[in-house]
Structure 1
Amino acid sequence: MDQPELRDRLATAAVVVTVVAVIGVTNALAAGRGSGTGPLPGPEPAPIVMRQVGYGHAAIAVPRVWGTNVSRCGVPRRDTVLIDDPSAAGDCDLPRPEDVSSVELATAPPVGFRLDDTFMVNGVRAERSWTTCSDDDVCWGAVGLPSLKVWFRASSSRSAAEVDQILSRIAVLRDRVGVPSTQSLDSAAYADQLRRLGLKVEFRTRTSVVSKPGRLVGVSPEPGTVLAPGDAVTLTVIK
């Protein structure tokens, strides 16, 4: 065997030995971790994706997986945002499920609101009602921005800390606007409010034998949706 061929065979053997050694050390380390210090660490949990809901220039961030108006008789059935909740008119005395959180948007202070503190949110004065818990382990608290006529009432059957965390995500939007509540407004007044907020208004009509002409029966996108100024909101009105 000549010298070049011998050198090639020796180099190849060295590479094989090195690879085997590395594999052996890696396996030994893995075995050591498995037997001595518990399982190998798993992947990092996926970040929670949030969405904003609000009226006008006041909004709150909630997990995107939360529903909207997932409630019965005004009682949330799972994590949800309550916006012009149509079920709230019912009265069936349902208990709140365990491990359910919610936030309700309103244009006036919620029932039981008490001014316990004031602070600033992006330069706007806010009022706070401290979080309290009832005998059925449901906790609630609220924050209002009176100058913007928006209140956020958070509640949870998890903990008071959950309520405080929800309310910490309130913001005043400078370059975005939430579709406002339709409560107590006819179609003309509501259209004027949308225009004052910088949104474009489009109309659709629907016939009805039971509703009066001019009645507002639909809004798209729905109240609470955060849009850019100039975006269109379509109102469905009885003709």
Structure 2
Amino acid sequence: MNEAKLTELLERAGDRTAVNPPPIDAMRSGAARIRRRRTAVWSAAGTALAVAAVIGGSTALTNNTTTVVPQPPVAGNPVPEGMRLVGLGHVAIAVPKTWATNKLHCGTPTVDSVIVDPGPQGYCLVPRAAGVESIELGPLPADPAEPNAEIDGVPVAKQPEACTLVGSLTGQKVNFCSASVQIPSLKLTITAAVQGEGMEPTQMLERVFVVPDLTGVPGFQTLDLETSQAKYLAALKADGLVPEIVSKPAPGVPKGSVTAVSPVAGTMVPNGSTVTVTVAG
């Protein structure tokens, strides 16, 4: 049979064969079922990962293996790795564990330091070294600003960063920059500062937290020596802390005056903790 004859026979057979419309609805239905199955698979996988993140908080599935995923700090324990909380009342700021506490010379931080209840400082002019960062917890100014923000539901007044040119240890002029957060309910101001190169003060203040289950040990060194014990014990009790008084000789200090506290001022302790108060005997 030649090619022309074969073509003629195929055309005749095609004319005798009924051709129905294409099954569009069935095709669509089948495609929908495939999409639903794919969606169900991805939804199940996403739900499994979400449940794993909520319950376990530390694993994810990758190529049928379990991989540890770093998780953010949990509520109630906001301190990042390598840092410690320092504060007063239920407000605290996270500072590096390597930072000193009250490392000052004539009121000027000599190294990266958190400053809380530093006590009397000598009167002298000591330039801050370049790159030294500090966090200071102090009282509200005489004319505090109106709250313009909240931190964990607590109204605060955030003061913008301000920079001025100051003298340095090398005699060169460098920028001294600072920013602060005022917390009226605690009569507290947290000020971050840096001289020269370093972390921006506003970034440091992003580590301020409200920790309802912890209380900062109040300071005592700004109190009048002769009345410090009564005032300090009242401050402890007002914060829900329990004082335990220990008497030790302290030549030259009025009897009954507070000379030390443990844990030190600014330490965040569980609510209701006991604070040892050493007084001059």
State the TM-score, normalizing by the size of structure 2.
Answer: 0.63
Equivalent position amino acid for 2:212 in 1: R
Equivalent position amino acid for 1:175 in 2: D
Post-superposition CA distance 1:173-193 (Å, at most 9, x none): 211000012122611221122
- 2:248 & 2:258 partners in 1: Cα distance? 10
Q: Which residue, 184, 187, 192 being the options, matches 2:223?
A: 184
What secondary structure is seen at the aligned counterpart in 1 of 2:230?
helix
Displacement of 1:104 after TM fit?
Answer: 0.5
- 2:265 & 2:189 partners in 1: Cα distance? 14
Which residue is equivalent to 1:171?
Answer: 209
- 1:208 & 1:64 partners in 2: Cα distance? 31
- 2:253 & 2:110 partners in 1: Cα distance? 31
What secondary structure is seen at the aligned counterpart in 1 of 2:148?
strand
Number of equivalences: 190
Which residue is equivalent to 1:104?
Answer: 136
Which residue is equivalent to 1:26?
Answer: none
When residues 197 and 100 of structure 1 are mapped into structure 2, their CA distance, relative to the original with a 3 A threshold, is: same
Overall identity of the aligned pairs, in % = 35
What secondary structure is seen at the aligned counterpart in 2 of 1:51?
strand
When residues 192 and 60 of structure 1 are mapped into structure 2, their CA distance, relative to the original with a 3 A threshold, is: same
Which residue is equivalent to 1:207?
Answer: 249
Mapped pair 1:131 → 2:161: yes
Post-superposition CA distance 1:25-44 (Å, at most 9, x none): xxxxxxxxxxxxxxxxxxxx
Q: Unaligned 5+ residue runs, structure 2?
A: 1-79, 167-174
Contact 1:139 1:160 in 2 (8 A): no
Displacement of 1:53 after TM fit?
Answer: 0.1
Q: Which residue, 173, 181, 200 being the options, matches 1:143?
A: 181
Equivalent position amino acid for 1:139 in 2: C
Mapped pair 1:198 → 2:240: yes
Matches within 5 A, 1:1-239: 49-86=82-119, 89-109=121-141, 115=145, 118-136=148-166, 137-158=175-196, 162-182=200-220, 183-184=222-223, 186-239=228-281
Q: Which one has a bigger Cα radius of gyration?
A: 2
- 1:114 & 1:134 partners in 2: Cα distance? 22
What secondary structure is seen at the aligned counterpart in 1 of 2:158?
strand
